[in-house]
Homo-oligomer: A and B are copies of this chain.
Amino acid sequence: MAKKYQIVGVGNALVDVLAKCDDAFLTEAGIDKGVMQLIDTDRAAELYGKMGSAQEVSGGSAANTIAGIAALGGRTGFMAKVRDDQLGAIFAHDIQAQGTDFSTRQAPHDHATETGRCLVLVTPDGERSMNTYLGVSSEMSANDLDVGMLANTDWIYLEGYLFDSPANQAAFYMAANATKPAGGKVSLTLSDPFCVDRHRDAFRAFVKDHVDLLFCNEHEMQALYQTETLDEALDIAATEVETVACTASEKGAYILNSGEKIHAKANPATVVDATGAGDMFAAGFLHGLASGSDLLTCGEMGCVAAGEAISHMGARPETDLKELFAQHNLA
């Protein structure tokens, strides 16, 4: 019998707060361009006070991926921690509105930390500099997981950013242990090379012991295995993980599977691995897997979905991905 879910995500619940700025603003505010930095409550208040008028859109890396799969018609669930506040309600509404079952053990209204948010500064060149206040999201522990949902899915998809919180890391082990005995498989995205640097040993152990499908880009892959070249890193990965899907910007994506190396070309118009693009690459790829496509087709679906993501503000798809796939003869 088919399981209730094809993909269940476990990740941060974040609302993106997007504002435009120029490069001088980044310098003055001490923001490293184009990367994700974790910030605390005080820094979040200070930076928000300096930022221009913004728009709020539900975000979170794995949540974006799950929203993309839902938009493609996949049966999806998502787990993350929000507080009972207005931003938490916005996050919960948006992911459910796209057809995903959202499971959260909401922190009460008077809980000290609020629903998490990501202050995203967009420079005229389209680059996004992300400043993440994790808030209550960092407190998601093994106790917050919905074990019933984990036992009833073909795949779980774990967000590497959660390695920044010890409580979250413990939740990952628990999630894998609830999924695998029920016949489900585990996928993980490395999320960010700096995140990998901060938690290299924990990542390597978890990847080797529990991960069936690893998503990453070339920088994350080399950060994980500390090699000079991408090929060396891929060689090590191939011995430790069943399947690796590694994006490489304009070179497209490389998929390793049981000794086989498959190359999916990037769409000429797409820039795989620009922020948000990685989330949608995973969405396209996992949709392909869930619908029984071969790995090359999965990779091509990832590249097409990634191209859509980088064409607008906000990481979640705005055009009809099903139609877009049809235009590229992917189904």
Contact = CB atoms under 8 A, between A and B. Distances in A.
A48 B51 CA distance: 28
Nearest to A314: B55
A186 B98 CA distance: 46
B93 A54 contact: yes
A255 B49 CA distance: 40
Contacts of A56: 55-57, 90
Interface in A32-52: 48-49, 51-52
Contacts of A87: 86
Contacts of A67: 53
Interface in A68-83: none
A202 B67 CA distance: 48
Contacts of A316: 53
Given A48-B93, A86-B87, A114-B86, A57 B55 contact: yes
A147 interface: no
8 contacts: A49-B93, A51-B93, A52-B97, A54-B90, A55-B56, A56-B56, A85-B86, A86-B86
Contacts of A54: 90, 93-94, 97
Interface in A94-113: 94-95, 97-98
A67 B53 CA distance: 10
**Residue from A49, A55, A95 with most neighbouring chain B CB atoms (10 Å):** A55
A57 B87 CA distance: 13
Contacts of A131: none
A127 to B, nearest CB: 18
A58 interface: yes
Q: Which of A58, A86, A316 has the largest count of B CB atoms less than 10 A from its CB? A: A86
A94 B53 contact: yes
Given A53-B93, A53-B95, 17 more contacts: A19-B97, A48-B93, A51-B97, A52-B98, A53-B58, A53-B67, A53-B94, A53-B97, A53-B98, A54-B90, A54-B93, A54-B94, A55-B55, A55-B56, A55-B314, A56-B56, A85-B86
